[in-house]
Every structure is written in structure tokens, then in C-alpha cells.
Structure 1
């Protein structure tokens, strides 16, 4: 029985005992009893699903070309490091991989949350020293939990402090303290954005970035700090700005109040394939949803979406187990989502702006 169950869980982790018994043609009671008697080999999660107890999990990312949040999420499919039985998680970057800001932000958020969950985390840059140097330059290690091991050696962070503010195309990683957030962060992001694009974008950039910052701050509900950063990519003529928190997230804070305050929205969510996606679409397309009763609340993300539409920008919003992408093209709004992602707490927003070819950037 043991060999058959191990072989099954290697291919199908996070499976309930009754499903294991049904698939293997075994008695459910015997399977359940066997699993509980061998917790050194099998672990059960909060959803009563069983997996093999694995001492470590190594997640490697592709080596050639740009790495985006899409590639990051793909590498974690069926791994779910936060909810798995793995005690140690290793993230490895290969030579030739060039991580973009949205990828880096997901990596940072996962690493810090894994530590909070009591797991041991290692970042292996042995095959990608250039990435290690770049992350040091943008202040990644100043925000990364100090208990995380970095191979071949953890940088001191001096490089980021030495060059901070010297490049208008970079806003190094800045912590967002949920109890005392640095309200200057949106201005720093806006100033960098305008320096790389054009003054005509100043108001739109500030509105978008300030609203995203406010919403991440307001929907955090956690004592764990978030972060913000910006990067300009001259060759691709695009700007990415990321604002993240590690709390309940937009859906996590709004969903509990929707049935009472917004019954029509609650009915639409109940009939939708994914309630969280439906709620987030409502937030960006119509607004006026808020966990608070103050007048004028709940329009921030809608307003950000309107400005993004005007300038054909893209916004991606990562929630607990899904991501919603808001695209704007030819005046139309296009929502795309990806579900069944590895659990990640909080709200992680990436705003991507493609510069027009006639805009002179710094």
C-alpha cells in the first residue's frame, strides 16, 4: 500500500484520502488510518489534502531571455511552496535569464512570506552572478528577509545605497510600513516616471501610482511591510512600477462586506466562475466599492484604470490564488485572468506603460 500511495502522491499531491482510495481501489478507512500513522512520510494541509513530506523543493527558472511574472507563476504551478509540506524552498536563477521587475517583485514577496510561514528559504545565484549584482543595485536585498540564505554570498546592500537616486530610471525597492507608510513614495515614482517619459504624463502618472499605493496600503491589514519600486527599460521603451503588500488583499478585505453593502455585486459574484475575479473586475470597471463608509471611497482603482485606458497602459493585480490583467487597446478594456495559482497573500500590482515612439526619454 505504501509504495502505491507514494507513487500516486508524487504525481498528484494535495489529494484527500477518499480520492486516493478511490483512485487506487483501496478501502477509504484503511488509507486514512495508514496516512495518519505515517506522518513522517505524509502531511495533511488545512484542506485535509495529503502530500508527501518533502524536506526541500528546488524551483528553477528558465535561462534564456526576459523573465516576467508570467514565467514566475508558471514555474510554481503544482508546487505551491506556501501550502506544501516542503520545509525548505530553493529558488535558482540560471545564466541568461533576465528578470523584469514584476518577476522580481513576485520572488521577493514569496520569499518573505515563506519565512513568515516558518520555512527555510535559499536564493541560488551561483549560475547567474549578473542577476545577483543587478538585484543588489536596485535594493532587493535591503527588503529581503535577513534570515534568507543567498548563494554564493549575500551582498551587503552598499551598491544600492551608493547609487540611490543617481539613475532617474530606477526607484530602488522601498519598504511600505503599514503602520506609518512613507507618503513620499508615490511622488518618487511619479518623478522618475516623468523623467523617463514626458511632463505631459505627470498628472496621470501621479494619479495612477498614488491610487495604487493608497489601495495597497488600505487593503493590507497586516503588520508585515510591503514595498514599491520602478524600472525603466530603454530598449523596450517601457516602464514598470510595482506596489505590493503582504496582507489580506483587495478581495480579502472587500468580499466580507459585499453581501451586506452591495447585494447586486454579491449575486453576480455567486454566479461567476471565479468570485474573486468578478469582484476585482467590478472594482476596476465601475468602482464605488469600499469596506469603509466614507463618502467618495472606492473609486481609486477605477480612476487608475481610466487613466491607464487613456494611455494604453497595462495593470496586473495578483491576489491570493489568481491574477487579473487589465489591458487597454483602441478604447476597449480587456480583462484576462489566470487562476489556480500558488497561494500568495496580499495585493501585488504592476503598472506597465509603453512609451510612444515619439516620446524622448531620459
Structure 2
């Protein structure tokens, strides 16, 4: 499989770590994967190198015209206040400081918001819960990833957390009949909204509070929630203090990508 990255292509942080996860998934299933960057390291490849993309890309993936000769992320790590380079989320080597680094980067860019002090505590909780969710539920030998990027021209900060595990629906659907029988007939989109509204979990009604709590805090700060599932993508936009089905943009029938890939978008100025 060949991915062609044309001249002028701009990849946002959410897409970057989803691209990374997909390539590593394909490589893990022994598929031949090739990435072709038309502009070489002067274009998108250079940006991905600065983010640390190639530090985590499976060695089996072929990169054209060639892999970067050095890691720009390692050379300049921490030098850009608007970026938290791609961080690995591994069950074998937990990075306890990752939620703090993400929160610090968010606050450097959002400190002018009138609710900045409250946002700081909420953001740390959101990041910690999402990262912990990868450890607790992903059931995969592949690493997960997290990254953050500020887009001043768009008045937006995006943070993304990605894992290559079974995915929310794959773990929850088999238990719906027993744990939440009244939700059996919901569509995947409707069920996804309820996961974030009610805190649903395959382990029962008292075990899914992490995602519910993260969503509640994100809603309070008007954050847009972008969730990519194996064959779906749902973008949830806050409306009247909640995420609702009728305010969601839904995309079905997407190319298969295992796992749960979550992005939050915050406005810099509130």
C-alpha cells in the first residue's frame, strides 16, 4: 500500500498520529507500506519529522525519497511552546509526566482566557483520563500516541490521543444486552454519544466515568470532540451544555483503522 503525500499538503496533528497508527497497524500485519513525500523534507515530511513521527514509525515502512537522516524532534524537543511532540503511550513504560506536559503547553497558549485557572485543572484531568483509557482498555501490543499543536491563525489548540486496540464499540457492543439493555437498538453514533454522556463501560454502569468526566469538562470549555473508530468518524460539537446526536457530524464506511482515536479542540481565547 502506497500513501502519496502531494506538494502543498498540510497535515493537522490529529491526522498525523492517526496516519502513524494506521501505518504501524498495516506493518504489524505484514503488509508492505510505502510513504511517498513529493516535497521531501522541505514539506510535510519536515513537519512530521519535527513532531517525532519517524521516531515512532515502524522500521518496515518504506519512506520516499528517504527517511530523514536525523530526528528533528530529538534535536529541538521543547523548543516550540506551541507543540508537544508525539509521545509514545506504552504499557511497558508509562510516561507519568505526559498529562502535565500537555497541560503546560495548553496553558502557555490559553493563559489569556478568562477561565484559564479552571481550565488548567480540567485539562490535566482530561489528558490523564484519555491516556489511562489506552492503558486500561486498548488490549493491543502496539503503542498508542499523544501530541498537541497550537494553530494561532485558527484560534485553536488541538490535542490528540490515539490507540490501536479493539476500539470502544468492539469492547462495549457485546455487553450491551446484559449491562444496558435499553440501549441495544441504538446506532453506533447514538451509542457513542451515550458513552460520553453517561459513562458507559463494558464492565458495567459504575466503570465508565473516565470518558464521561472528560467529556463533561470538555463541554464546559466548549471543546469540539473528534472520535475516529474503526470505520467511522464522529465530530461532536457542544450544544446547550452537552454533546448531542443532532449536533454531530458523522462519517461512515471509512477505511478500516483499528482502535479509538480521540481529538479535543479548544479555542485559545475562550
Larger deviation: 310-319 or 332-341?
Answer: 332-341
Given that residues 195 and 201 in structure 2 are in contact (C-alpha distance below 8 angstroms), is that contact kept between their aligned partners in structure 1? no
CA distance in 2, matches of 1:211, 1:336: 24
Stretches of structure 2 that go unaligned for 5 or more consecutive residues are: none
Aligned pair partner of 1:285 in 183, 192, 197: 197
* CA offsets 1:46-97 (integer angstroms, 9 cap, x no match): xxxxxxxxxxxxxxxxxxxxxxxxxxxxxxxxxxxxxxxxxxx111111112
1:141 aligns with 2:51: no
- Equivalence for 1:122: 34
Does the Cα contact within 8 Å between 1:142 and 1:157 map onto a contact in 2? Answer: no
Flag the 1:123–1:155 CA change in 2: closer, same or farther, 3 A. Answer: same
Residue of structure 1 equivalent to 2:224: 314
Shift in alpha-carbon separation, 1:111–1:306, aligned structure 2, 3 A = same
Q: From 205, 209, 212, give the equivalent of 1:299.
A: 209
Greater Rg by CA: 1
Q: Distance in 2 between matches of 1:225 and 1:216?
A: 9
The residue that corresponds to 1:112 in the other structure is 24
Distance across 1 between alignment mates of 2:239 and 2:178: 35
Counterpart of 1:170 (choices 74, 83, 92) is: 83
TM-score for both structures, normalised by structure 1: 0.68
2:238 and 2:223 map into 1 onto residues whose CA distance is: 6
Cα 1:280–1:179, aligned 2, differ >3 Å: closer, same or farther? farther
Show the counterpart of 2:14.
102
Deviation at 1:179, TM superposition (A): 4.0
Q: CA deviation at 1:147?
A: 1.2
Relative contact order higher in (CA < 8 Å, ≥ 6 apart): 2
Matched residue SS, 2:59: coil
The gaps in structure 1 that reach 5 residues or longer are: 1-88
Which SS does the other structure have where 2:44 is aligned?
Answer: helix
Per the TM alignment, residue 164 of structure 1 is displaced from its structure 2 partner at its CA by 0.7
Alignment length (residue pairs): 261
Q: Counterparts of 1:262 and 1:181 in 2: how far apart (Å)? A: 33
- Per the TM alignment, residue 330 of structure 1 is displaced from its structure 2 partner at its CA by 4.9
Secondary structure in structure 1 of the residue aligned to 2:190:
helix
Determine if the alignment matches structure 1 residue 227 to structure 2 residue 145.
yes
Aligned match for 2:261, one of 338, 348, 352: 348
Aligned to 1:248: 166
